[in-house]
Amino acid sequence: MKNTTIWILTALLTLSCAVKAQTSPQESDCTPDLTVLKTWQAGQTVSQEAVDAFGGLDSCFVSQPIPDGVWQRMQGKTFKPNPHIGRDDLRHIRALHWDYDEQTHVGEMVCNKKIAERLVLILRTLYEQHYPIERMVLPDVYNADDDVQMADNNTSCFCYRVVSGTTHLSKHALGLAIDVNTRYNPYITYRNGKRRVQPDNGADYCDRSKQFRYKIDHNDLCFKLFTQHGFRWGGDWHTSKDYQHFELIE
């Protein structure tokens, strides 16, 4: 029923384009709307036609100095004045990603310039292989609250913060670590024999012998790509498990 409806709608659209082209060949309403890509609205979905008309994947997977608008959004959230890292050390990445429903989404990330080129390459390969990533917006959307963005299954990199529960600067504070599909790949720590799972709604995904969507393990493409490009995986740690986390080996 659903397929039939889609077929009829597609046929009607094609017909209306053909009629339009016949009546006024100079102008057609059927060119894809590129607004989402021109203004890079992370979180929005886009059609394949729009991606093609925008210049294809070469135009959609890029690393650039932090644009003014992004820099403003970061202030007091993912970026705070500090002696370790500044605007010139960071890059803004534009990328596309598939979700589990096979829709293309606009994504963005801020990372250290040291890893920008390889991160673009990794994200592009994940996209080309239809690897599912649900969300890829800047943590500033969540006021840089890591628990909230993890619960929303966001994938991100830079955030000037300490390691949760400690005073140590996180690799995310230097833009050298990426968290992927966070809800389904939780961060598990043990203190005084008590288990803590972050995010709260990731508790169902601590048993890694189970099969579920977005799971990262040693056979996973994401694991393979990051480790091939010089990152280590938090799922291989011994005293805690950070299944969402990849960080550069320095």
Q: Which residues bind Zn ion (CB under 5 A)?
A: 177, 179, 245
Nearest approach in angstroms of CB 244 to Zn ion is 6
Q: For residues 54 and 237, which CB has a smaller minimum distance to Zn ion in the complex? A: 237
* Residue 178 beta carbon to Zn ion: minimum distance, rounded to whole angstroms: 7
Is the bond preceding 65 in cis, omega lying within 30 degrees of 0?
A: no
> Nearest residue to Zn ion, using CB?
245
Min dist. Cβ of residue 181 to Zn ion (A): 12
User: From residue 29, how far is each of 80, 181, 206, 219 by CA, in Å?
Assistant: 46, 37, 49, 45
C-beta closer to Zn ion: residue 50 or 150: 150
Quick one: 94 or 245, whose CB is closer to Zn ion?
245
Residue 18 identity: A
CB 71 within 8 A of CB 59: no
Between 51 and 136, CB nearer to Zn ion: 136
51 vs 58: CA distance, rounded Å: 10
CB 137 within 8 A of CB 107: yes
3-state secondary structure of 118: helix
Smallest separation (angstroms) from Zn ion to the CB of 170? 7
